[in-house]
Amino acid sequence: MPKTMYEKIWEAHLVRPSQGDTAILYVDRHLVHEVTSPQAFAALRETGRSVVHPEKAFATMDHNVSTHTRDWSLVEKTSRVQMETLQKNCKQFGIKLYDFADAHQGIVHAIGPELGITQPGMTIVCGDSHTSTHGAFGALAFGIGTSEVEHVLATQTLQQDKARTMLIRIDGTLKPGVTSKDIILAIIGKIGTAGAAGHVMEYAGSAIRNLSMESRMTICNMSIEAGGRAGMIAPDDTTFEYLKGREYAPKGEMWERALAYWKTLPSDPGVKFAAVVELDANTLKPQVTWGTSPGQVVSVEDKVPDPESFTSPVDRTAARHALQYMDLKPGTPMAGIKVNKIFLGSCTNARIEDLRDAARIVKGRKVHQDVQAIVVPASEGVRRQAEEEGLDKIFKDAGFEWRFAGCSMCLGMNDDQLKPGERCASSSNRNFEGRQGPGGRTHLMSPIMVAAAAIEGKITDARKYL
């Protein structure tokens, strides 16, 4: 019987099938960060349990690190306690930590792929919802809570129920200036923020095949914003070429064995998915969010919608709330909305390709006088590579601040935050109320749209700069 990629990976990791209770699924790799792990380690100590496979866990600090400095003495006190707690826990339990000032420190979802920790066919979990990013390699990857972090540390397994499958088929060719960020925003707009609840999403079609690994990661990253348990893309030569030679990727004969297995992973022809969604890449335009949920999105050519235009009363109320919070009036053209902050960063869109694309637009131009613009590479590895390519100079010459790696203003848990009433063009993943700082207003868009907004001080169609 034909199987989906999800079903193949599920079956390959099944330690014990459900017998009217729950299945137990083996976890290949566990990524750990400072915010969602301290209580898990503390509980292990309280119950006298240990970490069964410290070699399968990798830790870093990203959520509350400062992107201004790597000077430990300047770290804010409560953040420091959490960071020191991670250091202590990793030391005690023997877990590899990419520490505060490590050359490979970065957002956990950036360094996993960069170091080759993330591989096709794996199960990967992390106490962070954007773990779905790793699905871009044909891995089953999803976010878990702290109790589950503790469960994985203690048993290397998770209690899981099998999800339904959803095929997202995107055929056609993206027009210049339309990116993978626009694909995923359009999909969330189409199916809604709970549209994929209970489903593992598999993205397929000619438009997906033509994407780089970086672009595929952007799509899988935001699967959670559609409510998906996970997002996946079948591995292919693009995947294998990206992985080959990376630090933790298999080598020599082991590479050949792994490769042979990886090639068996894609969903079988003719397999049935529980749900199918289609999107035409040919007609897609750059997307921008207008509200406080990633599904509240339109194209940059559109206007802020009228709440009364929504058919469901729940959507109408949500739109009214959103417009009030965002201080926007129905009918306002999206292009032209003024912004004060520019954030090019996050696990969604701050990889090398994103920085290159944005730099191409910024080059030789200046950031608008009314905005503060920051570039926060997703990892120190990305930062180094960008500096080798001279991208930092392009950004700095234009008036951007060039920062160290971290989650930064995506979630405002560190010193990068929006002030009340500030409006931000952001390459991140969530436009929730207060997400980037209490009272802050977020418009999600692609890195090149962010770059164009930096220059004009307002939301604008980046295609004019191509």
Partner 1 sequence: MNPFTKHTGIAAPLDRVNVDTDAIVPKQFLRKIERSGFGKHLFHEWRYLDYEGTRENPDFVLNKPAYRKATVLLTRDNFGCGSSREHAPWALADYGFRVIIAPAFADIFYNNCVKNGILLVALKSDEVESLFKQVTQKPGEQVSADLEKQTVTAPAGKPYHFDINPFAKTCLLKGLDHIGWTQQFADKIRDFEQKLTQEKPWLV
Which positions from 234 through 293 interact with partner 1, judged by CB under 8 A?
Answer: 250, 254-255, 257-258, 261, 293
Instruction: Check binding of 87 to partner 1 (CB under 8 A).
Output: no
Asked whether the beta carbons of 235 and 262 are under 8 A apart, the reply is: yes
- The span of 38-46, 165-173, 281-289, 448-456 binding partner 1 (CB under 8 A) equals 38-46
Interface with partner 1 (CB under 8 A), residue from 4, 64, 299, 340: 64
Interface with partner 1 (CB under 8 A), residue from 8, 216, 435, 441: 435
Interface with partner 1 (CB under 8 A), residue from 101, 236, 271, 432: 432
Ramachandran quadrant class, 138 (left: phi over 0; alpha: psi -120 to 50; beta: rest): left
Alpha helices by DSSP H, listed for 38-106, are 38-47, 77-93
Rounded CA separation 325/421 (Å): 9
252: helix, strand or coil: helix
Instruction: Check binding of 212 to partner 1 (CB under 8 A).
Output: no
For 173, 232, 266, 267, 268, the CA distances from 2, given in Å and listed in that order, are 28, 18, 11, 8, 5
Residues in the chain: 466
Q: How far is the CB of 457 from partner 1 (least distance, A)?
A: 27
Instruction: Check binding of 440 to partner 1 (CB under 8 A).
Output: no
Q: Is the dihedral of CA 360, 361, 367, 373 positive or negative?
A: negative
Q: How far is the CB of 413 from partner 1 (least distance, A)?
A: 4
In 245-340, the DSSP E strands lie at 275-280, 287-289, 297-299
Contact mark string toward partner 1, 329..368, x via CB under 8 A: ----------------------------------------
Query: Which 301-330 positions form the footprint of partner 1 (CB under 8 A)?
Result: 314-315, 317-318, 321
- The span of 206-214, 356-364, 365-373, 433-441 binding partner 1 (CB under 8 A) equals 433-441
Asked whether the beta carbons of 428 and 440 are under 8 A apart, the reply is: no
Ramachandran quadrant class, 237 (left: phi over 0; alpha: psi -120 to 50; beta: rest): alpha
- The span of 239-247, 339-347, 360-368, 425-433 binding partner 1 (CB under 8 A) equals 425-433
Q: How far is the CB of 397 from partner 1 (least distance, A)?
A: 33
Q: How far is the CB of 309 from partner 1 (least distance, A)?
A: 17
Interface with partner 1 (CB under 8 A), residue from 62, 114, 128, 202: 128
Q: Which CB, 215 or 429, lies closer to partner 1?
A: 429
Rounded CA separation 79/414 (Å): 8
Instruction: Check binding of 430 to partner 1 (CB under 8 A).
Output: yes
Rounded CA separation 311/384 (Å): 49
Query: Which 357-416 positions form the footprint of partner 1 (CB under 8 A)?
Result: 411-413
Size of interface with partner 1, in residues (CB under 8 A): 72
Residues 6+ apart with CB under 8 A from 146: 36, 37, 39, 40, 127
Instruction: Check binding of 92 to partner 1 (CB under 8 A).
Output: no
Q: How far is the CB of 287 from partner 1 (least distance, A)?
A: 18
Backbone Cα Rg of the chain: 21
Specify the pairing of strand 29-32 against strand 57-60: parallel
Q: Which CB, 145 or 390, lies closer to partner 1?
A: 145
The number of C-alpha atoms within 13 Å of 39 and in the hemisphere containing its C-beta is: 8
Q: How far is the CB of 414 from partner 1 (least distance, A)?
A: 9
Q: How far is the CB of 437 from partner 1 (least distance, A)?
A: 9
Q: Which CB, 38 or 330, lies closer to partner 1?
A: 38
Instruction: Check binding of 112 to partner 1 (CB under 8 A).
Output: no
Instruction: Check binding of 81 to partner 1 (CB under 8 A).
Output: yes
Instruction: Specify the residue for token string 């933790």.
Output: 248
Interface with partner 1 (CB under 8 A), residue from 92, 193, 372, 385: 193
Instruction: Check binding of 62 to partner 1 (CB under 8 A).
Output: no
Transcribe 14-31 into DSSP letters: EEE--SSS-EEEE-SEEE
**Sheet with 275-280, edge to edge strand ranges:** 230-232, 199-204, 164-171, 275-280
Instruction: Check binding of 82 to partner 1 (CB under 8 A).
Output: yes
Q: Helices then strands (H, E): number in the chain?
A: 15, 19
Rounded CA separation 137/120 (Å): 5
Instruction: Check binding of 229 to partner 1 (CB under 8 A).
Output: yes
Instruction: Check binding of 161 to partner 1 (CB under 8 A).
Output: yes
Q: How far is the CB of 151 from partner 1 (least distance, A)?
A: 5
Instruction: Check binding of 176 to partner 1 (CB under 8 A).
Output: no
397: helix, strand or coil: helix
Could you tell me the two tokens for 416?
């990068």
Instruction: Check binding of 16 to partner 1 (CB under 8 A).
Output: yes
Could you tell me the two tokens for 263?
């090639």
Contact mark string toward partner 1, 130..159, x via CB under 8 A: ------------xxxxxxx-xx--xxxx-x
